[in-house]
Amino acid sequence: MNLIKVILVLPVLVILLIPFFKTRGKGILCYAAIILNTLLSGYLAVQSLAGEMTEITLPGSLVTGPVNLRIDALSGWFILIINFVFLTGGLYGLYYMKAYQSQRNNLTLHGIVFVLLHCALLGLCTVQNSIVFLIVWEIMAISAFLAVIFEHEKMATVKAGLNYLIQSHVSILFLMFGFIWVAFKTGSYDFHALTLYTSEHKGGAGLLLFLVFFTGFGIKAGFVPFHTWLPYAHPAAPAHISGIMSGVMIKIGIFGILRMITLIKADYYTIGLIILAFSVISGLYGVMLAIMQHNLKKLLAYHSIENIGIIGMGIGIGCIGLGNGNTILASLGFAGALLHTLNHALFKSLLFYTAGNVYQATHTLHIDHLGGLIKKMPQTASLFLIAAIAISGIPPFNGFISEFIIYSGFYYWMHDAMLGTLMAIIFSVLGLVLIGGLALLCFTKAFGIVFLGQARQQFHHEVREVPFMQLAPLYLIAFFIVIIGVFPQIFLNTLLQPVHLLSGLSLNAGLPYQEKMTGLLQPVTWGIGGFILLTGIIFALRKYITRNRNIAVEPTWGCAYVAPTAKLQYTASSFVRAYGKLFRPILLSSKTEKEVEGLFPSGGSYETNVYDRVEKYLIDNPIAAYKALLGRFLFLQNGRLQFYILYGIIFIVSVICIPLFYDQVVLFIQYIKQI
């Protein structure tokens, strides 16, 4: 009880104090608050993962009713992920923000919203009361908005921020609708009412309610077609905020969906199929667009959509397992989803931080302007490489483990599937495999063009590695990426409680999950360990055998052309050109070119861009139509003061008169009725 109060009071205190500190102090104070909060909430979270749920009830107010706070295993898992990403992101941010030292007020605000965002995310994991949940959700949305628009002097940043703010309010609208629906029917704002209501009303109501929540949380998570805010907001934010947004904030959407699965009693089988369909489409669409991006952070943002798709596939399998009463299938699906949530938080934040390093060193994120950074920034390059391999789902890193579990889920599901479901399985597997292949294409492009080869552009400033302290949190993340890849059992055992909670197993029946997981992953671990060992041996052998050989260094073979320049190198666009041509029907690519003409050409240009088709048809076109409709009323706003005064008078007159008229109308109607 007291612990919770401390957690609640601490941020308020820090937020009040931040403005009074000097620039350096602000950062340290902020980070200290994050550390303290992490320790306190982490303690409760670890307890919950060990099986001891923390539950307290605050008195609340007249409107909300008693406010229940509960840290169960599911919250615990997400709290730990949030804390880890905030710890590393905060430390990274301390150094990343040094470049903005002069903007004192801006930094104050940034520090405040950073602490607030952390608290809001933690709060969302624990609150069990819908009104309070919505308020906390709003705090999160607004603090994230303020964090995104840190560089608000740039027009594009503000636009991206507003886009995010509006879409996250659309998401709130859906959540509100769902909560009010239940509160209206049951009269209670407690989450427990959801369970009560849906178990009383079997059939369509539960499913519809779930879909309302799925849409709301799906906007936050970035499922296609609700993803359009994401590729704008992530690149606009400072690197540590992008990492946190992509690492944990969109995961709150996933948390919401999982929470609703535990609360709403509905036809899980149908829910599972719906989630699966959305996920496969999200995964494929996300990576397809990611490949064509020119901005490194935007590329990573589209990959978040892809990974949400992969997590969603796990959730889908889990729900189908629940619906079929197949607990092993359910635990495979949920374990895959939860582990991939952690994995994605790790490698995606690492990728965003390394992208931030690149931005700091070169002041650009345009992939085709970069190149050869591995020589200037070897540590950043190696960290990016680790994360790139992990996100492509390739062993020996963590991405492979979660994807392997999800694959196993699909193949396990085959055993008792009928024709229709077999089709679903085979197309989902097809989707997952294609996602893997496309991710490989995308990250070989990103890594190859940005870090390898020669610099494509000369910068006027020196390009150098960021200081070690800024790299330290990145190494910590990379360490976990490797550890999960090599010893996944530790983490899967931690997942025991959350998976049990989700798949509805009683705690005593712990054996099927553990047995299945150990049986499944023990040999994989051996394989991965063997692989690392083998590579080491071969490398040592190579070193030993070639120790006395001649090593010559010559220019790259250019088919005997002796004066190649860096501009002759393959570019990102040319690397994916064949892909772009093949997928043209799906992508919405535009091309502007100016050809080289005449005897004394003055220079040509060529530019390709890919626009999001979903965005065009779901967001842009309706908004254009809406604007056209509102444009018809433009004559009202004609800029003449006389008219505005007239409107004022009309308003006042109608405010006074309408009630009078109303009475007359009521009288009139009564009169008619009497007749």
Q: Which of 549, 591, 627, 632 binds another protein (CB under 8 A)?
A: 549
Q: Which stretch binds another protein (CB under 8 A): 130-138, 540-548, 584-592, 610-618?
A: 540-548
Find the binder of another protein among 22, 105, 155, 415 (CB under 8 A): 415
Q: Given candidates 27, 286, 436, 485, which one binds another protein under the rule CB under 8 A?
A: 436
Amino acid identity, position 534: L
Shorter beta-carbon distance to another protein: residue 24 or 375: 375
How many CB atoms are closer than 10 A to CB 523?
11
Q: Of 146, 145, 142, 138, whose CA–CA distance to 106 is shortest?
A: 146
Q: Residue 520 or 618: which CB sits closer to another protein?
A: 520
Q: Taking CB under 8 A as the rule, does residue 425 contact another protein? A: yes
**Whether the Cβ atoms of residue 463 and residue 373 lie closer than 8 Å to each other:** yes
- The 482-521 site mask, x for binding another protein (CB under 8 A), equals -------------------------------------xx-
Pick 327 or 428: Cβ nearer another protein: 428
Residue closer to another protein (CB basis): 219 or 438: 438
Of 102-110, 353-361, 578-586, 642-650, the segment contacting another protein by CB under 8 A is 578-586
Closer to another protein by CB, 556 or 642: give it. 556
Least Å distance between CB 143 and another protein? 38
Which residue of 102, 506, 508, 550 would you call a contact of another protein, by CB under 8 A? 550
Determine, following the binding rule CB under 8 A, whether residue 673 of this chain makes contact with another protein: no
Lookup: tokens for 236: 């606009």
Residues 221-280 that bind another protein (CB under 8 A): none
> Residues 375 to 404: which contact another protein by CB under 8 A?
375, 378, 381, 385, 389, 392-396, 400, 403-404
Positions 438 through 457 that interact with another protein (CB under 8 A) = 438, 440-441, 443-445, 447-449, 452-454
* Distance from C-alpha of 386 to C-alpha of 390, rounded to nearest angstrom: 6
Residues in the chain: 675
What is the rounded distance in angstroms from the CA atom of residue 612 to the CA atom of residue 622?
15
Return the residue of 59, 187, 555, 585 that touches another protein, per CB under 8 A.
555
Minimum gap (Å) between residue 322 Cβ and another protein: 22
Find all residues with CB under 8 Å of 575, minimum gap 6, and list them.
Answer: 444, 445, 448, 449
Q: Which two tokens stand for residue 665?
A: 């109308």
91 binds another protein (CB under 8 A): no
Q: Decide if residue 559 touches another protein (CB under 8 A).
A: yes
Distance, in Å, from the CA atom of 542 to the CA atom of 626, rounded to the nearest integer, reads: 67
Shortest CB 417 distance to another protein, Å: 9
Of 250, 322, 258, 325, nearest in space to 282 by CA: 250
Is residue 553 near another protein by the rule CB under 8 A? yes
CA–CA separation, 659 vs 665, rounded Å?
Answer: 10
# of chain residues touching another protein (CB under 8 A): 84
Tokens 């997590």, residue? 311
Closest CA to 279 of 484, 75, 141, 424: 424
Q: Under the criterion CB under 8 A, does residue 285 sit at the interface with another protein?
A: no
Pick the closer one to another protein by CB: 550 or 592: 550
> Rounded CA gap, 36 and 6, in Å?
10
Task: Say how far apart CA 438 and CA 388 lie, in whole Å.
Answer: 12
Q: Considering only residues 8, 566, 653, 658, which one is a binding residue for another protein as defined by CB under 8 A?
A: 566
Decide whether 34 or 432 has the Cβ nearer to another protein.
432
Question: Tokens at residue 343, please?
Answer: 């994995």
Beta carbon nearer to another protein, 76 or 371: 371
* Closer residue to another protein in complex, CB, 63/563: 563
Name which of 93 and 336 has its Cβ closer to another protein: 336
| CA atoms of 423 and 420, how far apart (whole Å) | 5
Q: Which residues contact 583 (CB under 8 A, 6 or more apart)?
A: 288
266's tokens: 């509905």
**110-129 positions binding another protein, by CB under 8 A:** none
Site for another protein (CB under 8 A): which residue of 166, 538, 623, 624?
A: 538
| Residue 657 is a binding residue for another protein (CB under 8 A) | no
Please check whether residue 223 is in contact with residue 282, taking contact to mean a CB–CB distance below 8 angstroms. Answer: yes
- The answer to the question of residue 586 lying near another protein (CB under 8 A) is no
For position 539 contacting another protein by CB under 8 A, the verdict is yes
- DSSP H stretches of helix in 264-397: 268-291, 296-324, 327-362, 373-376, 378-391
Burial status of residue 137 (CB atoms within 10 A of its CB: 0-12, 13-18, 19 or more) = buried
Q: Are 442 and 303 in contact (CB under 8 A)?
A: yes
Residue number, 88 or 428, with CB nearest to another protein: 428
CB atoms within 10 A of CB 39: 11
Contact residues for 467 (Cβ-Cβ < 8 A; gap 6+)? 95
Round to whole Å and give the CA distance between 631 and 106: 37
Using CA atoms, how far apart are residues 251 and 344, in angstroms rounded to an integer? 9
Tell me which of 434, 476, 486, 618 binds another protein, using CB under 8 A.
434
Q: Which stretch binds another protein (CB under 8 A): 5-13, 37-45, 276-284, 525-533?
A: 525-533
For residue 288, the minimal CB distance to another protein (Å) is 11
CA nearest 246: which of 336, 394, 346, 118?
Answer: 346
Nearer to another protein, 555 or 598 (CB): 555
Q: Is 558 in the site for another protein (CB under 8 A)?
A: yes
Task: Tell which residue, 441, 448, 461, has the closest CA to residue 371.
Answer: 448
**Which span (165-173, 346-354, 405-413, 619-627) binds another protein, by CB under 8 A?**
405-413
Of 16 and 586, CB closest to another protein: 586
Which residue number, 114 or 451, has a Cβ lying nearer to another protein?
A: 451
Residues 63, 155, 545, 636: which binds another protein (CB under 8 A)? 545
Residue 281 found at the interface with another protein (CB under 8 A): no
> Shortest approach of another protein to residue 454 CB, angstroms?
5
Rounded CA Rg of the chain: 28
Fill in the amino acid letter for 235.
P
CA distances (Å), origin 245, targets 119, 344, 389: 14, 12, 21
Binding track, positions 329-368, relative to another protein; x by CB under 8 A: ----------------------------------------
| Shorter beta-carbon distance to another protein: residue 189 or 575 | 575
Q: Which of 331, 321, 499 is nearest to 416 (CA)?
A: 321
